[in-house]
Amino acid sequence: MPENSQKISLSLLMRRYWSRTAFTWFLVVADGLLFLMFPLAIGWSVDGLIRGDYSGLLSLAILCGLVLITGAGRRFYDTRVYSGIYQEISREFVERENRRGAPVSRTAARAGLFTELIEFLENSLPEIVNQAINFGGTLLVIAFIDLHIFLNCLIGAVFTLLVFSSSEKRIVALNKGLNDEQERQVEVIAENHASGIKAHFRRMMRWNIRLSDLETWNFAAAWAILATVLIASISASVDASGSDGGQTQYGEIIAVIMYVFGFIESVMVFPLFYQQLLRLGDISRRLSEA
C-alpha cells in the first residue's frame, strides 16, 4: 500500500496485483466458456445415443476432463496467490494505522472487515465472471434457437433487476448499521460489562436479521418471476419441437431447458453479488478514511 495513498478498494487491489492474478483470470474465463458448452454437449450426447452414435458422449467426457483440469488448477493457484496478497496488504494496513495512532479497537475491527475484500476477490469475483459469461453466452444461444424464449428471458431479467434495484438504499443503510456496530466490538468486549456485551450482540443479530429478511423478500419476488419464465420456456420449446413436422430432437429440448435454467441461475445470483459490492463499498470507505 503506497505511503502517499490511503485509499483502499477492489479496483486498486486488482490493479496492483494484476501480474500475480493474470493466470487465474485466464483460467476463470476458460472455465466459464467450457461450462457454457455443457447443455449443448449433453443434448448432442442424448440425440447421438438415440441413434446409436457415441461420439457425442465422448465429447462430453472430454469436456468434463477439461473442466476438471481448469477448475482444480485455478483453485490450487488461487489459494496461494490470495493468501500472499492478504498477508502483505493486512500488514501494511495495520502498520499504517499504528503510525497514525488509530485506536487499536478500530484497527482490529477494520482488519477483520478487510478480510471480506480479499475473500470477494478470491471467491466471488471469479464466480461473477463465470456467471457473466454464462448469462451472455446463454442469451446468444437461446436467441439463435428460439426468439420467443429469448424475449421471455429478457423480460424476466428486466423485472428481476427492478425488484433488486428498488432495495438499493435500504441495503446500503442496513450494511452501514451492521458495520458501525461491528467496529465497536473490540471496545465493547474490552469494557467487559455483561449488559453492554449482551446488548452489542443483540444489535448485531438484529442488523443481520434485517439484512437477511430483505434478501429473502427480494429472492421470493425474483424467483416467482423467473419460475414463470422457466415454465413458459419449457412449454414453448416442446410446442416448437412438436410443430416442425420432423423427428423430435429430445437432446435439443433438454439443451434449451438447461440453457434457460442456467440463465435463471445467473440472473438470481447477480443481485446477491451486487449486495456484496454495496457492502464492500462501505467497507472500502472505512478502510480509506483518514
State pLDDT tens for residues 148-197.
888 888 898 888 888 888 888 888 888 888 878 877 777 787 777 888 88
H-state helical runs in 146-193: 147-165, 168-183, 185-191
Q: Is 242 exposed, middle or buried (0-12, 13-18, 19+ CB in 10 A)?
A: exposed
Closest to 273 in 3D by CA, of 113, 130, 94: 130
Q: What confidence score (pLDDT) does residue 290 get?
A: 46
Sign of the dihedral defined by the CA atoms of residues 145, 138, 233, 254, in that order: positive
Closest to 175 in 3D by CA, of 202, 149, 204, 211: 211
Q: Is the pLDDT of residue 244 over 60?
A: no
Give the distance, in angstroms, between the CA of residue 32 and the centroid of all CA atoms in the same chain.
Answer: 13
Which CATH number is 10-287 given? 1.20.1560.10
Where residue 61 falls among pLDDT bands split at 50, 70, 90? very high
- 0.75 surpassed by pTM: no
Closest to 34 in 3D by CA, of 4, 71, 2: 71
Q: What confidence score (pLDDT) does residue 249 get?
A: 66
Q: Is the pLDDT of residue 19 over 80?
A: yes
Which has the higher per-residue pLDDT, 93 or 260?
Answer: 260
Q: How far apart are CA 273 and CA 265, in angstroms?
A: 13
Q: What confidence score (pLDDT) does residue 178 get?
A: 83
pLDDT tens-place string over residues 26-55? 988 998 899 888 888 888 888 888 888 888
Sign of the dihedral defined by the CA atoms of residues 226, 231, 232, 238, in that order: positive
